[in-house]
Amino acid sequence: MAARIEFFQWWIVDERTGKRRLTTYKLSRADAARAFPGADPHLQSSEIRNLPGPRESTGNAGPERRWSDSEPSL
């Protein structure tokens, strides 16, 4: 089942300048909490994405075998 996750740009304090600024990329709440503890979401930048669950197929974009199972090329 697809998960609906909300992403935002986040207000952070730039370590170099000491000024408050928005992050360049949108992050989920969980990722922002890990990367920028205490950051505040920019609510106007809200975006909801439907992401596949951990057991759902993401398509046929990758190799048929795991990389670790492949034979070394000479």
3-state secondary structure of 68: helix
Token pair 């890990």 in the structure block, residue: 34
Check: pTM over 0.85? Answer yes or no.
no
**Token pair listed for 59:** 């398509």
| pLDDT tens sequence for the chain (74 residues) | 678 999 999 999 998 999 999 999 999 999 999 999 999 999 999 999 998 877 766 566 666 666 565 556 55
**Token pair listed for 16:** 């170099």
- How many Å apart are CA 23 and CA 12, to the nearest integer? 7
